[in-house]
Structure 1
Amino acid sequence: MTAPVAQNLHCDTAPDEARARALLTAARSAVAWGNMLEASRLFHRAGNFFKMDQKWHDAGAAFQTAAELKMPFEADTIPAPPYTTEVRKITSSGLLKTASDCFVKAQDFRVAVSCLQTAADLLAEDGDFTTAAGHCKALAQMLAPRDVDGAIRFYEKAARLHEAAADVHGRSAGDKAWLTVGEQLARKGDYTAAIDLFEGLADRILQEPKARDYASSGGVYVPDFSTAEPKCLTRAVLCYLCRDGPSAAQEAVVRWDAKLPSSGFMFDQERNVLRQVMGGAENRFTAGHIAKILQAPENAGSATASGPPWCDNDTQTRRLDKWTTMMLERALQMLRDAENKAQR
């Protein structure tokens, strides 16, 4: 005996929400009859109609239920990545990702995080480490305004998943994720942990054969090597500046300058960044030097800027990114407070 199905589900005059409700009725009937895959399909279709009607919470709930019903049938049937267009199916992890997106639009972040975390775990179990890492980074970004520690955990997980991909691009993406972990640690004031992470990353980059080859080749471009990774040095120095003051930051600059190849190396841009913060020829961090950089015309509105610490644009001006701006503002306030205290 077969399960009953809803009638007249394709009536063009019916509102999208009405179609979705009819599909939900059919889906629940299919569950009652034990036809879980058919129920999953109907919940999926209902979710699509709720999306069309912008009923975001209802859509998220329908997609989430569709995923939960489908999950037990996928344990040994999902093909190993990479998926081809012909083989790729809408999996429970894909349904959970869609559910999470809908819950975000409904402002239900708790359930959105739960759905996306489950999707990431399923993908990692199936060996799709890169997509799982992308979900973890999305989770971290979702949590960052509310739960910095939670965001850090997901950035760390994303880094480990990228590294598990065991290829050049995975390592590069993993380094970027670790860099973001350090930025988040510094954002919440844990400068010691941030320094350890940034300097450890810099040491590892310097020890890689690719880095040594780059230095010895006089600056010839090496494919697949991320230009974002060297930001770790500037970030470490700024953490020293905010934690211990100008003297410790200047000592860190000298120490790292001695470690780096003399020329033709990707860290040269970082040297230039630090020289500007240190006032060029004066070679020291002061409130005046930092204030001058923050007030430069090209850095007006820098809180919305993105990219490396100093990004060349078409006019050859340089702009601060949000993290560097935040750290320099903290350092400036610290130095001004020290000056005011000394004058009392």
Structure 2
Amino acid sequence: MSERQAQELLQAADKRLNGWSFFGGGNKQEEAAELYEKAGNTFKLAQRWSEAGEAFIKAAGLFNKIPDTQYEASKSYENAAKCYKKNNPEEAVRALESAIMIDKDGAHFRNAAKHHQEIAEIYESEIVDLQGAMKNWEEAAHLYMADDSQAMVNKCLLKVAHFAAQLEQYDIAIDKLETVATASMDNQLTKWSLKEYFLKAGLCHLCTGDLVHTRQALDKYCTMDITFENTREYQFLQAILDCVDNGEIEIFTQKVYEFDQMTKLDHWKTTILLRIKKTINEEPSLL
């Protein structure tokens, strides 16, 4: 029933769009766009996701041509993306990119940033393109900065660092982690996270193989936050840095085990630590 009703709405929209109008083209375009929207929502009820997406795309295209309906155009592209996410992630990305263009032109930076986040999540979980995910998290950070939303900027930059390290782009990861740490220093709500940011940045430094620069970085982190030197994270970084410097694989493994007993290591840190271990042990092995 819903699918038949949706098809009838599509036909009505096509007829309205192609028919003669006493009021001129703009009015009939808006009426046709609203009918396409109704068709899209009706296709959603029938769980016909591709057809729903196509109907919303048609609505968005018309709204985008009509003065003062850019918000409706962006919303229709967003609705199309939600439908396409069910079975066509590439089309979902294209719909969201169209929404971003409209939102940026209208200076709706927060909306555009949210759409970049959605694209990043699609790249991460559906398409599995970590470079694409990282790029969109960074774009979202820029737009949140324009919107003066520092907390969201920090969230996005941490995601950039996460993926950059996975892609072995350690300099980018370090830069983003240090940027977030600097922005968090004077904020009582986020200052407690400094040791986590410094730990991750320190691990990335170790992955570069530049031990001199790693020691300099740890000294800098202690200057940025005078409490860092007394933390478990700092002591752990110093211990494994010494192990790498001296080629002490067994002690490295023991230090990682001891730290994990006190502060559970997540998958990201475990992966990075395995990479560090391989710099002192040519044969891959479990921590």
TM-score surpassing 0.5? yes
Report the residue type matching 2:110 in the other structure. T
C-alpha deviation, 1:101, in angstroms? 1.3
CA distance in structure 2 between the partners assigned to 1:45 and 1:131 by the alignment? 23
Match of 1:157 in 2: 139
Indicate conservation of the 8 Å contact 1:100/1:116, yes or no: yes
Indicate conservation of the 8 Å contact 1:275/1:283, yes or no: no
From 216, 219, 235, the counterpart of 1:275: 235
Match of 1:143 in 2: 123
Report the residue type matching 2:89 in the other structure. F
Please, what is the CA RMSD of the aligned residues?
3.2
Deviations 1:167-202 (A, max 9, x none): xxx012112212222222221111123223333443
TM-score, normalised by the number of residues in structure 1: 0.68
Deviations 1:188-241 (A, max 9, x none): 1111232233334434555xxxx2xx6xxxxxxx35x47556643222211111
- Aligned sequence identity (%): 26
Q: Aligned pair count? A: 273
Indicate conservation of the 8 Å contact 2:202/2:237, yes or no: no
Indicate conservation of the 8 Å contact 2:278/2:284, yes or no: no
TM-score, normalised by the number of residues in structure 2: 0.80
CA distance in structure 2 between the partners assigned to 1:25 and 1:135 by the alignment? 31
Pairing 1:187-266 to 2, within 5 Å after superposition: 187-203=166-182, 205-206=184-185, 211=186, 222=188, 225=190, 231-244=196-209, 248-257=213-222, 259-263=223-227
CA distance in structure 1 between the partners assigned to 2:78 and 2:116 by the alignment? 11
Distance 1:230 1:261, change over 3 A: closer
Distance 1:181 1:229, change over 3 A: farther
The 3-state SS of whatever aligns with 1:105 is: coil
Structure 1 unaligned runs (5+)? 1-14, 79-89, 215-221, 300-316
1:331 aligned onto 2:280: no
Indicate conservation of the 8 Å contact 2:120/2:133, yes or no: yes
Distance 1:46 1:127, change over 3 A: same
Indicate conservation of the 8 Å contact 1:277/1:289, yes or no: no
From 47, 58, 63, the counterpart of 2:51: 58
Match of 2:22 in 1: none
Structure 2 unaligned runs (5+)? 20-24
